[in-house]
Structure 1
Amino acid sequence: MPPVDEETVALRIPDPPPVDSDALSGSAGSSVAGHDGPAHGGRAARRKAAKRRHGRHGGAADTGATGATGATEEERRAPLSRVEARRQARARKPGPAVVASRAIGEVFITTGVLMLLFVTYQLWWTNVRAHAQAGSEASSLQNDWASGKRNPGTFEPGQGFAILHIPKLDVVVPIAEGTSNKGVLDRGMVGHYAEGALKTAMPGDKSGNFGLAGHRNTHGEPFRYINKLSPGDPIVVETQDEYYVYKMSSILPVTPPSNTSVLNPVPEGSGFTKPGRYITLTTCTPEFTSKYRMIVWGKMVEERPRSKGKPDALVS
């Protein structure tokens, strides 16, 4: 059994190479002829020699590198004086311009988020809430009428008393007394002009102008598309006892808010020339502003008791 080579386990002195007379003679001759140095040992000896050579060169280089870098590491780890520490802290601290730019950026971001939330509230949430409130009021009216509960004939501000139908626009919305934003219009309903100098007639009156106001944008926006009505389009007012059917007759696209003559018993600019039973729809224009008013007029063409069923305008 050959001896175990422990070269990779621990250091050892290599065994002397075997003496070969022929090789010795050849080596001696070669040495004499070529003037070479003494013959090398075996494979293990050559490996050891190579390791020693590499170790000397690499060790020197490593020692030099370590010495060079070691000094730098010590310098880096050396404690700073108080002055130097303060100087480095000031160098790391952002300057006034950086602080100001960051503050301005945060203000812009916060403002943008708040504006986005406000727009979402105005354009979406107010409609959701107003539609729910208006639907609840319409259901309450229908239930009261079905149960035989009588309307008093006069109504308190904010009290619903009728339902407006505009079939072409798919509008079904309660009508309440008064035109206040908080009590009526912002709740998704349309309001009857019923106060002071702007008081207008009721649908059941034998003559007069039934004036209504409604939002064009936000809060249910029931009058958003009344500009799309054409002459002859039906507008129906449903009360506890009657259906009042009007036909759209004319439109005033833009007028100042101060032009209250559009609510006169014979409204100016409507084309009507004598007393009759009229309806006036008023809303803001242009969209998303309240700078001007848009006016739509209609003339009553049918009064139908509820006992006879719905009018054709609501059936077809």
Structure 2
Amino acid sequence: MSTAATADVRGAWMRRVGVLLVLAGLVLGGYVAWQLWGTNVVSGRTQRALVEDARRAWAEDGGDRASGSLDTDHGTVSAIVHIPRFGADHAVPLLEGTGDDVLTAGLGRFTDGAAPGGRGNFALAGHRVTHGEPLRDMPDLRPGDEVVVETRSWTYTYVLDTGGADLTVPFTGTWVLDPEPSNPVGSVGPRPGEDHLLTLTTCAELFHTDDRLVAFGHLVSRERTEP
């Protein structure tokens, strides 16, 4: 094969490789865009729908308040969580469990922990980026901020004892989910003597998940929800 022919073949392969690299870049860029924006649109719509569905079901079943949970295609909704620091209209459905399907639809409750308003550690998880980002502004939380948990029968108000950026733990730091969490390496932890605790957990970094931000609070009041 002549030198010119060899150069032509080499050039053709280089063009093909270049096209493949461009296509790969477009696919990767599309995936990143979907994760960062597309999932927020879809999950935001789902979360708003679940909040509306829960409130509608609670109102229609007001005469029978024995069970406050609502089974949906996305999981079991047990409450609606409001964090006023995130805005007056902040309302996110709380679902049972912390699997991927649950966390795309709202906040998830660690089911080994306490139920809303219950004795023990009422521990919640949520995304900080993608899938609706219910805890994106976690670092903005301050001690004294309220977390209001609305169920069919009761509205529980918790007050934070630590800020949203005060404690970072590795994903293996499961002590934060204990019934009585005790920090083995520092002083940041729940307020001593409280037995109705709240724990919020989310990713510490926006684009990888090696560590978790954790905030602790305690129950300060509960009010009966009107039928």
Scaled to the shorter chain, the TM-score interval is 0.7 to 0.9
The counterpart of 2:81, out of the listed 164, 180, 205, is 164
Q: 1:151 to 1:93 in 2, by over 3 A?
A: farther
**Which of the pair is proportionally richer in helix?**
1
The counterpart of 1:296, out of the listed 215, 218, 221, is 215
The counterpart of 1:249, out of the listed 157, 161, 172, is 161
- The residue type equivalent to 2:157 in the other structure is V
SS in 1 for 2:167: strand
Task: Count the aligned residue pairs.
Answer: 213
Shift of 1:283: 0.8
SS in 2 for 1:307: coil
Where in structure 2 are the equivalents of 1:203-214 lying within 5 Å? 203-205=116-118, 207-214=119-126
Where in structure 2 are the equivalents of 1:63-102 lying within 5 Å? 95-102=8-15
Q: Would you say 1:258 and 2:172 are equivalent positions?
A: yes
Relative contact order (C-alpha < 8 Å, sep 6+): which is higher?
2
**Which of the pair is proportionally richer in strand?**
2
Structure 1's unaligned 5+ residue stretches are: 1-86, 309-316
SS in 2 for 1:243: strand
Q: Would you say 1:219 and 2:138 are equivalent positions?
A: no
Structure 2's unaligned 5+ residue stretches are: 184-188
CA distance in 2, matches of 1:176, 1:254: 24
Shift of 1:91: 6.3
**TM-score of the aligned structures, taking structure 1 as reference length:** 0.63
**Which residue does the alignment assign to 2:53?**
140
> How big is each residue's C-alpha offset from its partner over 1:106-159, in whole Å with a ceiling of 9 and x where there is no partner?
011101110111011101110000011111111010001111254536777920
CA distance in 1, matches of 2:104, 2:142: 27
Identity %: 33
- The worse-fitting range, judged by mean Cα deviation, of 112-121 and 153-162 is 153-162
Q: Would you say 1:185 and 2:103 are equivalent positions?
A: yes
**Which residue does the alignment assign to 1:282?**
201
Shift of 1:225: 0.9
> How big is each residue's C-alpha offset from its partner over 1:50-98, in whole Å with a ceiling of 9 and x where there is no partner?
xxxxxxxxxxxxxxxxxxxxxxxxxxxxxxxxxxxxx9xx968961221
CA RMSD of the aligned region, Å? 2.3
CA distance in 2, matches of 1:92, 1:254: 61
SS in 2 for 1:224: coil
**Which residue does the alignment assign to 1:312?**
none
